Amino acid sequence: ETTMGYPVTVRDGECIISGLKGNADIKIFDMSGRMVVTEHTSDAEYSVRLNDGYYLVRIKENGKEFVTKISMK
Predicted local distance difference test score (pLDDT) of residue 32: 97
> Is the CA virtual torsion 69, 8, 25, 64 positive or negative?
negative
3-state secondary structure of 73: coil
pLDDT band at residue 17 using 50, 70 and 90 as cut-offs: very high
Read off the pLDDT of residues 61-72 as tens digits, 9 standing for 90 and up.
Answer: 988 899 999 999
Measured between alpha carbons, how far is 33 from 45 in angstroms, rounded to an integer? 24
Read off the pLDDT of residues 42-61 as tens digits, 9 standing for 90 and up.
Answer: 999 999 999 999 999 999 99
Average pLDDT over residues 14-20: 96
The phi-psi region of residue 72 (left if phi > 0; otherwise alpha if psi is between -120 and 50; otherwise beta) is beta
Q: Considering the entire predicted model, what is its pTM?
A: 0.90
